[in-house]
Amino acid sequence: MEPAGKHAMTEQSAATDQTDKYRAPALERGLDVVELLSIRDEPMSKKEIADALGRSVNELFRMLVVLERRNYIALEKGTGKYRLTLKMFELSNKHPPIERLLSAGRPELAELAELTQQSCHIAVYHDGAMLIVAKQDSPYKMGFSIRQAARIDVHGSGSGLAMLAFKTPEQRRAILAATTATPEQAQSALSQMDTIRRQGFFFGASPQVSGITNISYPVFNSQSEVEAVLTMPFLTLNSDSLHHQVVSFEDSRNAVARSAANLMAAIGGRLPDTPSET
């Protein structure tokens, strides 16, 4: 009789063999360099890069030369250190769905921020988090701002919850499993799905910043799937102390709804016929 676990071990070994068979060490080293520089605020020398990746300078020398020649990284004059260029950003923006979204999104965000005096941003789901792909700061002298290309939690953000609500139960579980959410955090997120789906949008207090109420509207594509989420981190302002009219929360929410509808129209999107089942 075949020993227990032998079949599973055989499958695992086969998977490992298959992975090893298609390894491309040089490519992997190059990608390691790009990914490392993308998370560092300051340029890095050859030795700093090698040390951070646990490799020798000789192992990385050719990778650095090729990446510089292809304009993925640049060598700063005077410091001898490498920094990431904007080539990756440019390439990502050429991807048709993102290109259409950003083309329509930039003027829409600017108009929304001007109308409400609040900041706003567009996020898409990517690799276990919501990625900020476009943003507009408030034109007023004070406001809340989020960094372009910032990654925010799916389970702890209006953008993430608005996206999750229009996924199938299986998709939600898979997405949350790929995040840093604890079982308790995942369950808390899932408990809000019915309400968000029924409303068609999310609003609620920011779990990260006191005084901020997130207003998040999904933007659907032509297949009625969530392409992105438009969010306004609504900052409560005191009109008495500011001595001027402040746009109300409800008026701001309606403005976000209109902008989300405009974005959806711009990319040929349509609302889902029926909400997904819980």
pLDDT given at position 35: 92
Domains of the chain, first to last: 23-85 (1.10.10.10), 94-266 (3.30.450.40)
Residue with tokens 């390691």, as numbered in its chain: 32
Tens-level pLDDT at each residue, the chain (278 residues)? 444 444 444 444 444 455 566 788 889 999 999 999 998 889 999 999 999 999 999 999 999 999 999 999 999 888 999 999 988 877 776 666 678 888 889 999 999 999 999 999 999 999 899 999 999 999 887 778 899 989 999 999 999 999 999 999 999 999 999 998 999 999 999 999 999 999 999 999 987 777 899 999 999 998 899 999 999 999 987 655 554 578 899 999 999 999 999 999 998 899 997 554 54
Which residues touch 112 (CB under 8 Å, ≥6 apart)?
Answer: 118, 120, 136, 232, 255, 256, 259
pLDDT confidence of residue 15: 44
Cβ burial 5-17 (10 Å sphere, 16+ → b, else e): eeeeeeeeeeeee
Measured in whole angstroms, how far is the alpha carbon of residue 112 from the centre of its chain?
Answer: 20
Q: What's the pLDDT at 14?
A: 47
Q: What is the DSSP string of the chain?
A: -PPTTHHHHHHHHHHHHHHHHT--HHHHHHHHHHHHHHT-SS-B-HHHHHHHHT--HHHHHHHHHHHHHTTSEEEPTTT--EEE-SHHHHHHHTSHHHHHHHHHHHHHHHHHHHHHS--EEEEEEETTEEEEEEEE--SSSS-----TT-EE-STTSHHHHHHHTTS-HHHHHHHHHTSS--HHHHHHHHTTHHHHHHHTSEEEE-SSSTTEEEEEEEEE-TTS-EEEEEEEEEEP--HHHHTS----HHHHHHHHHHHHHHHHHHTT----SSPPP-
Separation CA 216–CA 232 (nearest Å): 7
User: Which residues, in sequence order, are bridge partners of residue 212?
Assistant: 235
What's the pLDDT tens digit per position in 207-229? Answer: 777 789 999 999 999 889 999 99
- Strands 212-220 and 82-84 come out as unpaired
Q: For 19-36, write each residue's pLDDT tens digit.
A: 566 788 889 999 999 999
Ordered strands of the 129-136 beta sheet: 151-152, 129-136, 120-126, 226-235, 212-220, 202-205
CB atoms within 10 A of CB 229: 27
pLDDT, residue 1, reads 47
Rounded-to-integer distance, Cα 25 and Cα 41, Å: 26
